[in-house]
Every structure is written in structure tokens, then in C-alpha cells.
């Protein structure tokens, strides 16, 4: 399994390096966001192929990864089509100037590749599991389904809200967005806990590092913390929204 994991890391390195080259041509480091979900499809397929398994559980797990990864890639791809480079990357491009072309490789692509590699641990384990489905597996499937639904519905509600020009500069605070300021991030974390429960065994409890890292990143690093800071500066009503609505976990508005 260790050898397959190392080979998977090499596959991810090649994958993010190719995307980096495309980003240099397009002058847009934000394309890594589009290919984030697709990266797990690629490394998951590598893990599944290396296991030579026709068992039901790994096939089911890979189908769920495929469903999630394709939806996320399509959603972000359509959302970013024709748009300028994401503000986070544009700010770094301006900050680092002539050094950004190679610094972006380390700061964006290699960094996200390493995160992708570590977070893929449940796929490494689960896609080689030939056992029958257990109660824990079914709980994991339900967690994935709920998380996937929350993420997809949250994205759809936000996309619909933004399409109405009358809402420009306003804050979406209805639907799932009335329960949490970031339903898409909460759904993302939940489905990764689902992936982990599907894959986990008594001997592989260490794979919980994957959803722990993913949840921490979504709350403290690239998700809630960063986006809240940006939106507080750009949307006048966002400060009041912060005071009234949970940041991550859904709950009743204050």
C-alpha cells in the first residue's frame, strides 16, 4: 500500500505540474480551483487500478468520488468561465511580480498537490477494500449523500442569487444560507467524513487525518476565514450577516 501511495503522489505531482504550465499560458493561477475535484478522480482511478479489484465496495466508493469530482469541476469551471483571475491569486501576482511565475508553482500548485495527496488517504484504503458493506459503510454513504446535497443545493442557490442583477452587492441570507454562511464548505467537509467512514477499518483509523485536515482547511485557512475577511470588506451588509448566522455548522439564526 505504501508503494501505491508514493506512486499516487507522483501521479499528483505530474497532474498539478501540467495544470501549472497551462496557468502560465493563461496567466491565471486560479484554474487550480477548477481542477481540484478532478485531481481526486485521477488519483482515485490510479489507486483503483493498482488494486486490481472488481469488488463492489471500491467500485461504489469510486463512483461517489466521480460524482462529486465531476460536479465540483463543472460548477467551478462554469462559474469562472470568462471571469478575471480570482482575487486571492491576483493579489499574490501583484505582490510578487516577476517572481510569481515560479513562486506560484510552489505556493499554489505544489501546496495543493500535497494537500490532495494526504487528503486522498481514504481513497487509497477504501479503493483496495474487498470486504462487504457494513453499518459504518452505510453511515458513510448517508453522510456523503447529505454533504453532496448540501453542497450542490448551496451552490445552486448562490448561482441563482447572483444571476439577478438586483442582488448585486447584496448578501444571500435565505435558504441554506440562512442556516450557515458557508453551506457549500460544510457539505464538502461532511462528504469527506463520509468517504472516510466508507473506507475505515479498525486497522486504518489513522485515515481520519484526511477529513480532519479538510475540515480545518475549510474553516481556518482557505475557506471560511479567508472568504469572510474578503466579503466583510466588499459587502456592506456582511458584518451584520456574520453576527446573525453561524459560520460553518448549520443552526438557527440569532
Q: Cell 469551471 sits at which residue? A: 77
pLDDT tens-digit series, residues 13-41: 999 999 999 999 999 999 999 999 999 99
Distance CA 121, CA 66 (A): 16
Q: Label residue 174 exposed, middle or buried (CB < 10 Å: 0-12, 13-18, 19+).
A: exposed
pTM for this model (two decimals): 0.92
Does residue 84 register a pLDDT over 90?
A: no
Give per-residue pLDDT as tens, 123-178.
Answer: 999 988 777 889 999 999 999 999 999 999 999 999 999 999 898 889 999 999 99
Q: Output the nine-digit C-alpha cell for 24.
A: 502560465
Amino acid at each position: 500500500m505504501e508503494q501505491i501511495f508514493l506512486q499516487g503522489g507522483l501521479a499528483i505531482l505530474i497532474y498539478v505540474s501540467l495544470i501549472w504550465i497551462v496557468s502560465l499560458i493563461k496567466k491565471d493561477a486560479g484554474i487550480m480551483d477548477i481542477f481540484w475535484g478532478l485531481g481526486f478522480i485521477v488519483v482515485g482511478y490510479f489507486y483503483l487500478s493498482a488494486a486490481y479489484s472488481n469488488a463492489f465496495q471500491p467500485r461504489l466508493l469510486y463512483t461517489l468520488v466521480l460524482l462529486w469530482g465531476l460536479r465540483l469541476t463543472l460548477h467551478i469551471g462554469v462559474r469562472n468561465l470568462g471571469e478575471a483571475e480570482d482575487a486571492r491569486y491576483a493579489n499574490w501576482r501583484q505582490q510578487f511580480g516577476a517572481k510569481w511565475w515560479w513562486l506560484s508553482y510552489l505556493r499554489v500548485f505544489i501546496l495543493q498537490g500535497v494537500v490532495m495527496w494526504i487528503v486522498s488517504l481514504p481513497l487509497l484504503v477504501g479503493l483496495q477494500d474487498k470486504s462487504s458493506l457494513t453499518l459504518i459503510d452505510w453511515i458513510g454513504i448517508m453522510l456523503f449523500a447529505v454533504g453532496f446535497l448540501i453542497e450542490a443545493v448551496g451552490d445552486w442557490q448562490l448561482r441563482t442569487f447572483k444571476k439577478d442583477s438586483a442582488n448585486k452587492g447584496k448578501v444571500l441570507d435565505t435558504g441554506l444560507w440562512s442556516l450557515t454562511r458557508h453551506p457549500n464548505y460544510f457539505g464538502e467537509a461532511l462528504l469527506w467524513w463520509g468517504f472516510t467512514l466508507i473506507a475505515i477499518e479498525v486497522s486504518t483509523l489513522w485515515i481520519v487525518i484526511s477529513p480532519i485536515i479538510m475540515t480545518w482547511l475549510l474553516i481556518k485557512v482557505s475557506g471560511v476565514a479567508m472568504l469572510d475577511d474578503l466579503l466583510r470588506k466588499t459587502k456592506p451588509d456582511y458584518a451584520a450577516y456574520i453576527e446573525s448566522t453561524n459560520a460553518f455548522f448549520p443552526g438557527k439564526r440569532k
